[in-house]
Amino acid sequence: MSSDTILAEKIYAQARQLPVPFQVEALNFIEYLLFKTTQEIEDNDTAWARLSLAAAMHGMEDEDGPEYTLADLREKF
């Protein structure tokens, strides 16, 4: 058995000994931790995306780019 499986079994065995209201509280806490982990991953992904975009765009603010007008925004069929 892997250490992850053994740990999960220990958590399960301990949780089963708790009264139901505490089991519910433990489940809520585990769900919170899972949510927090997901948020941290998303925050890291967002940070990397911003860094990547900043690196790609670095120096472009000084470049002369095309000047667009409202006429350029009109859809042509």
So what's the pLDDT on residue 34?
Answer: 87
So what's the pLDDT on residue 20?
Answer: 93
- Each domain of the chain, given as residue ranges in start order, spans 19-47
So what's the pLDDT on residue 72?
Answer: 79
DSSP 26-68: HHHHHHHHHHHHHHHHHHHHHHHHHHHHHHHHTTGGGS--PPP
Please list the rounded mean pLDDT of every run of 10 residues in the chain (77 residues): 90 95 90 84 77 75 76 77
What pTM value is reported for the model? 0.51
